[in-house]
Amino acid sequence: MPSPEQSPGSRGLIVPIGGAEDKVSDRHILRRLVRAAGGEQARIVVIPTASELDTTGGRYVDVFRQLGVPQVGVLDIKDRDQAEDEDAVAALNDASAIFFTGGNQLRLSTILGGTAVAQTVRRANARGVHVAGTSAGAAFVSEHMIAFGREGATPIAGQVTLCPGLGLSNRVIVDQHFRKRDRLGRLMAALAYNPFAIGLGLDEDTAAFIGADNTLHVVGAGAITIVDVSDLAYSSMANVSEGEPVELIGVRLHVLAAGANFRLDTRKANPSRGA
């Protein structure tokens, strides 16, 4: 479960990004995150743990500074001992926004899961600090995380493997690079295991800005595919063998572009023209 809010409505934004976000031209997603975090007064901490490249954290430092944020730091946590460091916790407690880069989401769950850093991020978000993640970082923000899986439009038994994520929200399961990598089937398979959650399929350069009021706002150049299984009437997941297609009856699907919104509590979608 997410950490409890310190007061009603105090939770910060949760911002999963589908990967390959614009970093050089309009930068709509990152610019909006900076604005929410305080603009020139923002204090952003970048966590590049998902990446094995030494340059990933520095690249985002440069981008955020170009957007007018002078206070940008990197927590380059490579092992669980570093994730228990008091200085790392102090840096997070001073942040107005925390940003997880892309890479391999299993590095995030295995290195950060259950550590002081993970607990601090959860508590920080509950008291108003915004937490964003791109690609692997986007998958990590939810309680149930897609670790890996096969591509394809049809849900297949055994197609996807889930593991615990950071747990900022238990309402959603996130999949990234959605349209480019043909991931509708694996997201639906994940939801067949857990019909409580709402599936968010994020196109590249597209983000969901999820507020404390449970409203999701779509920002970016692509679309978000919302897969709602709240009215699921039948699933064959428990009856089929690995590699066989899974029957799902009663799935509701929305495709929402920039300016549209979706209420996670009422599961109501609103088009961009009415936003």
C-alpha–C-alpha distance, residues 124 and 94, integer Å: 9
217 given a catalytic annotation:
no
Q: Measure CA 235 to chain center.
A: 26
144 given a catalytic annotation:
no
21 given a catalytic annotation:
no
C-alpha–C-alpha distance, residues 226 and 175, integer Å: 11
C-alpha–C-alpha distance, residues 174 and 80, integer Å: 25
Q: Measure CA 119 to chain center.
A: 17
Q: 108 near 138, Cβ under 8 Å?
A: no
We find that the CATH architecture of domain 14-266 is 3-Layer(aba) Sandwich (3.40)
Of 135, 142, 169, 235, the active-site residue reads 135
| The pLDDT of residue 271 is above 50 | yes
Each residue's pLDDT tens digit, 62-95:
999 999 999 999 999 999 999 999 999 999 999 9
Please calculate the CA angle 44-214-187 and round it to the nearest 5 degrees.
85
Residue type at 47 in one-letter notation:
I
Of 109, 177, 217, 235, the active-site residue reads 177
Q: How many residues does the chain have?
A: 275
End-to-end CA distance of the chain: 30
Each residue's pLDDT tens digit, 21-44:
999 999 999 999 999 999 999 999
Of 51, 130, 204, 217, the active-site residue reads 204
| The pLDDT of residue 236 is above 60 | yes
pTM: 0.97
